[in-house]
Structures are given as C-alpha cells and as structure tokens.
Amino acid sequence: MMASRAVIARPSAWLVWGAVAFFLINLFGLVAYVVLNSFSTQWFGTWLPDGLTTTWYTTAWNELSLFDVLVVTLEVAIAVVVLSVVIGGPCAYALARRQFPGKKLLTVLFLLPILMPPMTYGIPLATVLYKFDLAGSITGVIIANLVPSVPFVVLTMTPFIEQIDPKIEAAARMCGASTAAVFTRVLAPLLIPGMLAASILVLVRTVGMFELTFLTAGPGSQTLVVSLYEAMFSAGIRAQQAVDAMAVIYTSSMLVLLVIALRFVNPTQLVTRLKETPT
Amino acid sequence: MTATLEKPPRAEEKAALRHRLAERGIDRVLLLLVPGVVFVVALFLYPVLYGLQLSFQSKDGGGPLANYQKFFSDSYLFDTIWITLRLALPAALINVVASIPIAYRLRGRFRGKRLLTTILVVPITLGTVLTAEGLIEYLGPVGWFNKTLQWSGLIDEPVRLVHNYWGVLFSLIITGFPFAFLLTLSYLSGIDPSLEQAAATLGADWRRRFTRITLPLLAPGLAITFCLTFVLAFSVFPSAYLVGLPQGETRVISIAAYEAAFRDFDFPLGSAIAMIMAVVMLAVIGLVLAWRSTLYRGATGGKG
C-alpha cells in the first residue's frame, strides 16, 4: 500500500516536496540574512558583507539597555506563569471533575480571551488599566498578559487532570488522607507533566506576546519584543545591524524555550486534546 | 429535648438539598472555580463591556452612535475593513490549503519526521521583528532573492516585495503557516488510516481516496484551522507597520484602532473600532462555523 501510493503519487509528491523546499530555502535565506547582517561591519548591495564583527551585540547590549529589558522580560514571564497556574489550576480541576449547569457557558467564557485577537480586547483593557493607574508599570503588563494566560492554563490542564483516575483520589481518602495530603501527595506529583506543559506554553506565549504588552507597557516596563519593535520602529537613529543583533538574541532565546517545550509537549497531541474541548 | 427532636429532620433536609445539588454536580469543588471566574470577569468581561459602553459616548458629542457613524462615513477608517480582509482571507486560505498536502505527506511514520516537523515549526520563534527585518533585507531590492532572480536572468529590475501588500502577506504566511500546519497534521493523524486502506481494497485510487474519504473527514478540522489562522491574520498589527505601508495599502483595522486610541487619545472611537473589528471577525468565523455544522462530524475512527 505504501509502495503503490509512492509510485502513483510521484508527480504530486515532487510538487509537495518542491514547495516545502522552496518555503524552507527562502525561510533559511531570510534568517541567515539577518544573522549574517548582525555580524557584519558593512553590507550594501553585495552578495556578502564586507567584514565580520561582534561589536553590534555590544552596541545593542549597551545602547538599548538590553540587560534591563531582559530582567523585565524575565520578571513578567515568571510572574505570569506562576500566577496563571495558581489561578487557572484549581479551575481546571473543577472543570475536569464536575459536570454542572452552565459549564458550556463557562467554557466559552474561558475560550473567548484565547480566540479573540489581543487588539480587540487589549484596547478596552488598556483603557481600564490606565483608568486605575495600573498601566505603564510592570504590574499592568503582568495583569494584561494574565488575561489570555489564565484561560490558556485552564484549557491545557483540564485534559491532563481528566486523565488522572478519580479512583486514585478516592483511594487516598479511604486511607485517611486529608484534602491537603491528597493534593500534595497524590494530585501534585501526577500533575507535574500537565503543569510543566502549561507553564512552558504560557512562558513562550508571554515572551512572544506583543500587542498586550505594547498597549500597557511604559518606558521601564517593556519586554524584549516590545523594545525590539520600538528599536526597529525608530530605526533611523540606530544601525540596522544593532536591531538585527537584538532580534537574533530574541529569536535564539525563543528557540531555546521552544526546544525545551517540545521536549515536554508533543504539539500534535496538544492540539488534538484541545480539539476535544467544545468550541 | 424538643430541640434535639427537631434537629435530626432539619439536618436530613440540609443533607438532602446538598445531595440533590451534588447530583447535579454542584458541590464544594466548584469553589475552586471562583478565582478563575472572578479573574476572567474582572479583567476580560468587564473591560470589554466597559469598552462597549465607552464606544457609545462620542468625544465630540452627538448621539450614542456618533463613533460608529464616524467610522462608516469616513472612508479612511471604513476602508480598513476591506484592507484587513484582503490580507487576512488570502493569508488564512493559503496557510490552510498549503498545509493539507504537506500534512498528508507527513502523517505516516518515517525517519526524520520529528526533525522536519520541528523545522516547519521554527518560524513561531522568529517573532514579528526578525521576520520583518529578514523580509526587508532578504526580499529588498538588493537582497538575495532579487539578486538571485536577476542573476538567473528572470527579471531585469528588482521586484518590489516589501513595504507594500506583499510584504505583509509574506509575513502573515511565515508566522501563520506553522500553526495551520500543526493543527492540520494533528487532525489528519486523528483519522484512522484503515478507512483509507479499506477504500483502497475496494479499488479507489489515491485521488478518490483523498476526495471521498480523507477530505470529508478532515473538513471540520480545516474549518477550525481556518478560523484560528484567520484570527491571527486579521489582528495583524506590528508587521503591517514594519513591512507594510501603514498609511496606505496596509492600513489594517488594528492600526486604525490603535491610532485612534493611543495617538489621538480618542478612547471612545478606539473602543468603537475595536468592537467593529470583533464583530467583523466573529461574522467571518460564524460563517465558517455555520458551514462546518453542515459537515459530518462523527467519529473519525482514530485516536483523536
């Protein structure tokens, strides 16, 4: 069967592989161009740059105060991850274990912040945060980023909790475990994969989240994506190579995060699980 | 004495009520929902409703619908809907259609599948800015792409591919394709391969197997994939600024909303545009989902 398909579908197979190759070659060229440019002394209209240097990374580090930006990014990301797991985890447990009236409505309420583009609710949200004097600070950025993250944790963790047999909990109770003991000794160890998966995905999303951070961040509370955007937007005053160097730093940190995430989560599985939640 | 006599039935009643509620699924476990629900209501529902309410108050006075009238009468604002749809619909369609054959090829087990999947997913990590920088440099007039085309003699003058419609479209494809591909692949691997094998034993060639078996089972998943990539593309914001022509060809609706709210500080108008944006997006998704509800959505026989 495999062999017959391979023989019959040969022209279409070549077409598909050709298209993939074309996409990947251009993608590779695009990334390589930026990486090469970030290391180049000067590059105007030739095939390759005039010379190689690493000074642009020092420039980016000093001029764009990259260290502070990275600290802010880390603070925001960790706060969002911890808070969203703490708020979303119990919710996921209740949704996984109980059937109750209004559950569909609640699921829709949790799906909306994920499905709506951040721009649509981000503008009213930023307006509200400005009204309460929360925007323009790290607190505001964290709150804004929590809005899609909490529902995301709920939806990612629910299937993980559903997989844990309720009989295990019942058995622990039978043996005299208190609620706290059931949680710390039984549920928490079994839930670690789910919590890790949810945390890492939230981390990737938060580090990459542009719109909400952009709308709520002030001068001292920009994360890496936003300051990168600002650097490119006001590109006239900065060498393109410095912006490229910063973009390379951003992308490599995202790549590290994604590789870690892929070790814990199989993306295809995750999507199939998400599919099962009613939309 | 009387008190002790009266107490037991009352406790029973209480227990019965609790019991009846528990039978419907309401018990103390639901208290765990409280923090999450309070959070979503306070920080998602309230701002959205506040924005909706704000959108009916015009900055310059006028009726409750003044902001909406302004939007629909000012072609500079109104046209952003079409500009956005002209970008988002083709981008979502290309992403979904292109991911079908690739996912179809990749669904079986073979060596290097994990590597290839990882490579196809890498664009997620690029971020808007590196994509934008890369597009500007790589597709620019002196970039490698134009240089290769000129060197091979296909064109004489460099093609203009950035700072216009095409730049934003490419950026949307680069960032949106991985999502579409991953979703399609997962839906496709949820379809039991033995269904297709059965069709093959009955003499169907691969084309018929694809159009009669795989595609109908895949279609509901494709509808969801289309919706998700459409949402991503519809809310395009940074790349429209960076690789597009933000005051002309690619003045998408989110730029209009952002500029109204945070450049002109007209929060009511900004909220109104955000609401219009949500409505247009929901209308497109509603249409797709309505079409999806006419499709077969039973078991696909697979693990999914």
Shortest Cα distance from A54 to chain B (angstroms)?
A: 18
Q: Of the spans A4-18, B152-166, B259-273, which averages the highest pLDDT?
A: B259-273
Residue A253 included in any domain: yes
* Contact call for residues B113 and B102 (beta carbons, < 8 A): no
Mean pLDDT of A160-169: 86
Residue A91 included in any domain: yes
SS3 content of chain B, % helix, strand, coil (to 5): 75, 0, 25
Residue A22 included in any domain: yes
Mean pLDDT of A24-43: 85
Residue A3 included in any domain: no
| B-chain residues near A207 (CB < 8 A) | none
Per-residue confidence (pLDDT) for residue B6, from 0 to 100: 47
Q: For chain A, what percent of residues have pLDDT higher than 90?
A: 13
Nearest CA among B178, B172, B177 for reference residue B243: B172
User: Which one-letter DSSP state was computed for residue A175?
Assistant: T
pLDDT band at A238 (very low <50, low <70, confident <90, very high): low
Same structural domain, A182 and A49: no
CB contact under 8 A, B134 and A33: yes
- Token digits for A107? 């699921």
Nearest CA among B171, B168, B173, B167 for reference residue B95: B173
Same structural domain, A199 and A144: yes
Same structural domain, A83 and A212: yes
* Contact call for residues A62 and A124 (beta carbons, < 8 A): no
Considering only the beta carbons, identify the residue of B24, B174, B277 that sits closest to A100: B24
Residue A1 included in any domain: no
Per-residue confidence (pLDDT) for residue A269, from 0 to 100: 52
CB contact under 8 A, B129 and A225: yes
Residue A278 included in any domain: no
Question: Does residue B152 carry a pLDDT above 60?
Answer: yes
Overall domain count for chain A: 2
Name the A residues in 37-66 with CB < 8 Å from any B CB.
37, 44-45, 47
pLDDT band at B85 (very low <50, low <70, confident <90, very high): very high
Nearest CA among A240, A147, A66, A209 for reference residue B237: A209
* Contact call for residues A198 and A153 (beta carbons, < 8 A): yes
A234: contact with B, CB 8 A cutoff: no
A269: contact with B, CB 8 A cutoff: yes
Same structural domain, A76 and A155: yes
For residue A154, which phi and psi values (nearest 5 degrees)?
-55, -50
Same structural domain, A42 and A62: no
Over the stretch A75-106, which tens digit does the pLDDT of each residue have?
999 999 999 999 998 899 888 888 888 888 88
DSSP readout, B127-177?
HHHHHHHHHHHHSSTTSHHHHHHHHTTS-SSPP--SSSHHHHHHHHHHHHH
Mean pLDDT (chain B, rounded): 83
The CATH number assigned to the domain holding A189 equals 1.10.3720.10
Same structural domain, A28 and A136: no
Same structural domain, A36 and A153: no
Same structural domain, A49 and A61: no
CA B254 and chain centroid, separation = 15
A87: contact with B, CB 8 A cutoff: yes
Residue A279 included in any domain: no
Q: In chain A, which residue's Cα lies nearest the Cα of B31?
A: A94
pLDDT band at A273 (very low <50, low <70, confident <90, very high): very low
Q: In chain B, which residue's Cα lies nearest the Cα of A267?
A: B182
Residue range of the domain that includes A40? 11-53
Same structural domain, A79 and A214: yes
Q: B163-190 burial string, b = 16+ CB within 10 Å, else e?
A: bebbbbbbbbbbbbbbbbbbbbbbbbbb
Nearest CA among A152, A89, A161, A77 for reference residue B44: A152
Residue A130 included in any domain: yes
Question: Does residue A268 carry a pLDDT above 60?
Answer: no
CB contact under 8 A, A91 and B35: yes
CB contact under 8 A, B40 and A125: no
Same structural domain, A98 and A43: no
Considering only the beta carbons, identify the residue of A34, A101, A123 that sits closest to B271: A123
- Determine how many CB atoms are found less than 10 A away from the CB of residue A5: 16
CB contact under 8 A, B24 and A87: no
Nearest CA among A115, A124, A189, A197 for reference residue A158: A197
CB contact under 8 A, B186 and A268: yes
Same structural domain, A120 and A192: yes
Same structural domain, A205 and A240: yes
Over the stretch B162-202, which tens digit does the pLDDT of each residue have?
888 898 999 999 888 888 888 888 888 878 888 888 888 99
